[in-house]
Structure 1
Amino acid sequence: MSVTAPAGFEAAGVVAGLKSTGKPDVAVVVNRGPRKIGAAVFTSNRAKANPIIWSQQVIADRVVEAVVLNSGGANCFTGSFGFQTTHQTAEKAAELLGVSAGDVLVCSTGLIGTGDDVFRAKVLDGTAQAIAALSADGGDLAAQAIMTTDTVAKTAVVSRDGWSIGGMAKGAGMLAPGLATMLVVITTDADLEALEADSALRAATGRTFDRLDSDGCMSTNDQVTLLANGASGVKPDIEEFTAALVELSQELAVKLQGDAEGASHDITIEVRHAVSEKDAVEVGRSVARNNLFKAAIFGNDPNWGRVLAAIGTTGAQFDPYDVDVWMNGVRVCTAGGPDRPREEVDLTPRATHLLIDLRIGEATATILTNDLTHDYVHENSAYAS
C-alpha cells in the first residue's frame, strides 16, 4: 500500500498516455488530514525543472494538501510553456479537490527538453482521472505511475506503536547526490509540527538518499516530500520518528540502488575510522565516482590500487600509506601495501562490499553505488530514441 498505509491518505495511478507502454503515468497523493503538514527537499542542481521551481514556492508555508506526479516527460527546459503547464496542473488538482493551488506540489520525470500541447492535455486529463480514482488502496498504482526506466515499483512501510510511515520512490538512472534522480513521496499519520517534519526529513535524506551515488549524474527533477497529518493522534518522540524515517528512507535508497540502469553489482562502500563524517563521505564518494574502479568491479577484478588512487584525490585527512582495504571480506591491502592474494576475493555475487579503513579517527559513513557496465552505456546511448 506504500503511501496509503498511514491513516488519512488516498492515492491513485492512472494511464494518461504520456508513455508508449500503456502503463500508469500520472499519480496523485492526497492528505485528508486533519493536519496538512508538508516538508520537501529538492535537487541542488542549478538547472531545475519547472515542477521544482513551482514546488519550492508551494512548500514555503509548509502546508501541502496534495502531490501530483507524472512520468513520461520531465517538463524541464520547456520555457514559459512548461511553467504554465505545471501551474495549470496544480490549478486543476486544486479545483477538483476544493483546495488552494498554492498547496499542491507537482513532480515530473522523464526526458528533458520535450513538451507540447498534447503533453499538457494528457497531464491535465490524467490529473482529473487520478483524482476521480483516489482511494485508500491506491498506493501501489501510484508507485507504478511514477516509474520511468525503473523495472519495479519501489515502496516501503515502517510501523511503530500507534503510527506509521509509508513511502514510494522512483529512480534508476542519473543517481547522484543532491538526492539522485528520484521522486519520493513519504506519508505519516504521526502528529508532527512543521519544523519537526522538516528537520526529520533533512536528517533522513542526508544519511540515505544523498549517499546514493550510482553514476555521478545529478538530475534536474529530484524531490523528496514528506506529508504528515496527525491522523493517528499519536505524537512520537522526534528522535524516534527520525530514526523510523531514516529506516524507511534507507530501505527505499537500497531499492533504488538495486534497480540502477544496467548494473550488475550493488556496491556498498563503508569508510571507517575517519577524522570526521564529512571526510568519510568524501572518501567513499571518490571511489563511487571512479569509473576505473567501477569498471573493475564489473569485470570481477579486485583492483584495490584503484581504490587508493581514488581516495588520494580527496582533501580528507589520512595517510595513504596507512590504509587498509577489504573487498567482500578479504583484506587485500594493509598499511598501503598488498595483503591477501587477489584470487581470494569472490566478486561474482551482485552484492559487493568495499571496506576502507583510514585508521586515523572514529567517524564512519557508507556510500551506495553500482558498477559501470556495457548495459548502462547502451541504455543511456539510446534514451531519447
Structure 2
Amino acid sequence: MEVAVLGGGHGCYAAAAELSENGHTVRLWRRGAEEFQAVLEGRKIRVKDFKGERDIAIARPTTDLGEAIKGAEVVVIPLPATTQESLAAACAPYWEDGQVVFLPPGTFGSYIYLKAARDAGNQADVTFCETGTLPYLARKHGPAYVITSGYGKHLPTGCIPARNSAAALAKLAQVYPAIHPIEDALSGALMNAGGIIHPPLIMMNAGPLEHFERWDIHNEGTQPAIRRTTDALDAERIRIRETLGYAAPHYPLADHYAKEGDEWMYGRGAHDSLTDSGDWREHIVLTEHRYMLEDTRLGLSMLSSVGKWAGVETPLVNGFLAIASAITGRDLFAEGRTLENLGLAGLSRDQMSTLMRDGI
C-alpha cells in the first residue's frame, strides 16, 4: 500500500521503518532538510528492536509535503498534538477522496484536521482517525537511527466522519492490524493515555526532575502513591466516556502495569520493557517539555472541558491543570484544547453525535 508518514519525531521514524519492513511503499516527509539529510541521502533508517539491529530502506523520503500526500492511500501522522494546527493548515489543500489519515494519538486532532481542510475549501471525502497512544515505544538515537522497545498490540480507533468508519478502518487495519473500531473521533480522543500518565508523573516528581540532571519518571518516579493518583485521574476519564455512552473496554491505564487480566494498548510487560531500555531516563524541563505543553495543556484541558460539557466533575483533572499553570506561569486551561476554544461548547449531545457521524 502507498503510505505517507509525516514528521521527523521518534514515532515517525519508527512508523516509517516498520511499515516499510512490512512491505508498504512509504513516503516519509519532514520539515528541515538539514536534520533530514542522513535519511534523504541514505534512503534508509537503522532500527534496533526485539528482532535485532538492521537497516530498513525507505522508498521516498521527501521534504515536499504535497509529494508525500498526493496519491497516498493512508497518511500516518505520529506527531505531538502541539504540531496539529499548523500542519493541518499546511496539509489542507492536498487531501484527496478516499484517503485515510491516522493520528496516533490524536487529542481530538482529527476534528482540527477536518476543519482545516474545510476552511481551506477542500471538500474531499477524507476520513480522519485517532487512537489512544503511539503504536511505538521509541526513541531516536541519531539522525537516521531509532530504537523501538515496544509495539502497540491494541489500538482502539475512532473516526470523523464516523459514517466512513467501516471502510476507513478496514483500510487502516491493513497497515496497523492492531486497530479495532470504536464509535467516533471523540471516543478516540477520550482514549488518549498521555494526559493520564504524564501529568501526575512530572508534577509529583517535580523535585527530583529539577534536582537531578536526568530522572526516569517511569522507574523511580512511578511509586504507589503516584499510581493511586493516576488511577483516580483515569477514573475521571472513564466516567466521561461512560456518561457519553461510549462502550467498554475503556483501556484503564492500570492495565498497563498489571501482570494479569486485560492487556493494555502495548500488551503485557510493556512497562518493564520501557524502564529496562533506559531511554526514558531523561532531562525534563517542566516549563518546556511536551508532557506539560501537550499532555497537560491540551490533553487535560480537553478532559476538563468535555467533562464540564457532559456534566461530569473532574477535580483531579482541574487540580493538575491548576498546579501546571502555577509551575509554568501560564493559564493552561485558557490556552488549551477546549470545546470552548474549538467553538463546540454550545452543541447539544445530539448535535455532537451528528458532527461526529457526518463531519463538517
Q: Same fold (TM over 0.5)?
A: no
Which of the pair has the greater relative contact order for Cα pairs under 8 Å at 6+ separation? Answer: 1
TM-score, L = length of structure 2: 0.30
TM-score in terms of structure 1 length: 0.29
Give 1 or 2: higher strand fraction: 1
Higher helix share: 2
